[in-house]
Structure 1
Amino acid sequence: MSLIWATRGRAWGFRFLLDGGYDDPLGEYEATFSGVGDEPEVCRRVGDRVALRFPDPLERRDAAGRVIPHDFVVSGPSAEGLDSVEDGLRRVWQQPGVADRFDRIWDGPPPA
């Protein structure tokens, strides 16, 4: 699964936790999320990619009290049939290394 994952933690700001294999995932992220705005939930196809956003499933919040969002750019075969936020929660969030990784790092220092 090719994923770009951007989120924030309790005490650290918005950053990429997965880069989808790009040296600089920002351009791909911006192109895919262009026009989405601040919608709390998004599942939008852009060519062969999907912009997927949902609030933290465990309703974790940052130090300012805001619910933490998770933004993903899903591409390649993994994007096929990804048509809803519910699909994303099941197919992306539950992938090995995604939800578990966030469980371990969200309340700690900024990840390297």
Structure 2
Amino acid sequence: MTFIWATRGRTWGFRFLSDAGLDDPRAEYLRRFAGVENVMPAFRRDGDVVVARFPDPLDRRDSAGRVIPHEFVVFSPASDSISSAQDAMRELWPVVQETFDRVWDAPGPPERR
């Protein structure tokens, strides 16, 4: 499954935890999320690419009390089965949950993969 995944932890700020193999996932992320920067949840299909944002399924909040968002840019073929933010959560959360559970309380951000 190929995707960009951005989120934050309890004490560390916004980071890309998965980069879809791109040298600079930020450029692709910014381009794809243009127009839905402040929408929660968010969903948009752009050809065979899906953009989705959903709140942390366990309602975790950072040390400032902000809801933790999970933001994805998903590339085909994984994007083919995603038609809503709810679909994105159902399809993507099981893939990243273990990683996020492991790094949630870490004092600093993990290395991106």
Query: Is this a same-fold pair by TM over 0.5?
Result: yes
Amino acid of the structure 2 residue aligned with 1:111: P
Amino acid of the structure 2 residue aligned with 1:56: D
Partner of 1:107: 105
Give the TM-score of the pair, scaled to structure 1.
0.94
Residues 32-111 of structure 1 mapped to structure 2, 5 A cutoff: 32-95=32-95, 98-109=96-107, 110-111=109-110
Gaps of 5+ in 1: none
Q: How many residues align?
A: 110
Q: Matches of 2:60 and 2:46 in 1, distance apart?
A: 29
Tell me the CA shift for residue 47 of structure 1. 2.2
Superposition misfits of 4+ residues, deviation over 3 angstroms: none
Give the TM-score of the pair, scaled to structure 2.
0.93
Amino acid of the structure 1 residue aligned with 2:59: E
Structure 1 vs Structure 2 CA RMSD: 0.9
**Partner SS for 1:71:** strand
Aligned-pair identity in percent equals 56
Partner of 1:30: 30
